[in-house]
Structure 1
Amino acid sequence: MKHFIFSLLSIYAFTAEAQTFKNPSSLFDPTPYGFSHASSVFTPGQFVYISGQSGGLGKEHTLSNSFREQTQIVLKNIVTVLDSYNLKPENIMKITILIVDHSPEKLKIWNEEIRKIWQNKPFPASTLIPVPKLAIEGMQIEVDAMAFKAMK
């Protein structure tokens, strides 16, 4: 019985705060740029790996010429996948952003749009990679993600 109670308390302790996001004070503050330096998970659960989502709209995968519109659609597509697992953007631990012909203007747009999705910080850990082109002609952005769903 003693071991059973200890096991239950251990499970509760691990599920009380499953996700941690860290920004060590000796490093620059990344929150203005929409990411955290690191994220970790302390409890058993389910990892959800989201393949690179493009800015293509709907089943026809229609691509706008606007970087902002593609960015909005990419984020909407990620939220759609999260919804299928009953998860929210806050469950995303890590994202990788690929931007064609990256520029300060595109970074500004990315930062504005990501704040609409991650209204409540913390931001996930993040890597942005400038690329010359993506898989389909006209794609300007692709984002993949790794999310975590704690077991209850």
Structure 2
Amino acid sequence: MANAKAQQTRAFEFINPAGLYDPSANGYSHIARLGMGARIAFIAGQGGETPDGSLSPDFRLQVRQALDNLAVAAAAVGANLQGVVKQTMLVVDHDEKKLHILGEEFARAYGPGMMPTATLIPVPRLALDGMLFEVEAIVAISAE
């Protein structure tokens, strides 16, 4: 894989090929390729609701809670956030400030290294009043 930056994990690898900009500051990678025998799970959109159903009015806190919720869902299938290969994010009234918050919160949640592939979709509204962020994911589960 000439001129490409890649990170191999047990179930998949992320690839940022030469010729595409480096997306790491925005919290994602361009490509994820599953390895042989990997299984996948599809996790429905997780918002920033706490276990009692409440939502903070703060965008950053909703993103943080949504990623914590995603981690709980991943754990339920024997995975963790490092197994997320693809995520789709829905952001109410998206702007550059929110993009920077997303990058910071993804770095906090996912740790060092390459980030999952991602698509961000700006939306005017989400399912619940006051909901500002939602993330759905595809998670790779090691065949071991």
Q: Secondary structure at the match of 2:29?
A: coil
Q: Secondary structure at the match of 1:117?
A: helix
- Aligned 1:87-106 pairs, distance under 5 A: 87-106=79-98
Tell me the CA shift for residue 111 of structure 1. 0.9
Contact 1:95–1:143 (CA<8 Å) still a contact in 2?
Answer: yes
| Most deviating of 17-26 and 32-41 | 17-26
| Aligned alpha-carbon RMSD (Å) | 1.3
Cα separation, 2, equivalents of 1:17 and 1:65: 38
Cα separation, 2, equivalents of 1:94 and 1:136: 24
Q: TM-score, normalised by structure 1?
A: 0.85
Q: TM-score, normalised by structure 2?
A: 0.89
Contact 1:56–1:73 (CA<8 Å) still a contact in 2?
Answer: yes
Instruction: For structure 2, list consecutive stretches of 5 or more residues without a partner in the other structure.
Output: 1-8
Contact 1:100–1:141 (CA<8 Å) still a contact in 2?
Answer: yes
1:12 maps to what in 2? none
Contact 1:43–1:150 (CA<8 Å) still a contact in 2?
Answer: no
Instruction: For structure 1, list consecutive stretches of 5 or more residues without a partner in the other structure.
Output: 1-15
1:34 to 19, 27, 46: 27
Contact 2:39–2:141 (CA<8 Å) still a contact in 1?
Answer: yes
Aligned residues: 136
Runs of at least 4 residues off by over 4 Å: none
- Aligned 1:1-152 pairs, distance under 5 A: 17-58=10-51, 60-152=52-144
More helix by share: 1
Tell me the CA shift for residue 17 of structure 1. 4.4
Q: Give the letter aligned to residue 29 of structure 2.
A: S
Contact 1:71–1:110 (CA<8 Å) still a contact in 2?
Answer: yes
Q: Which protein is bigger by CA-based radius of gyration?
A: 1
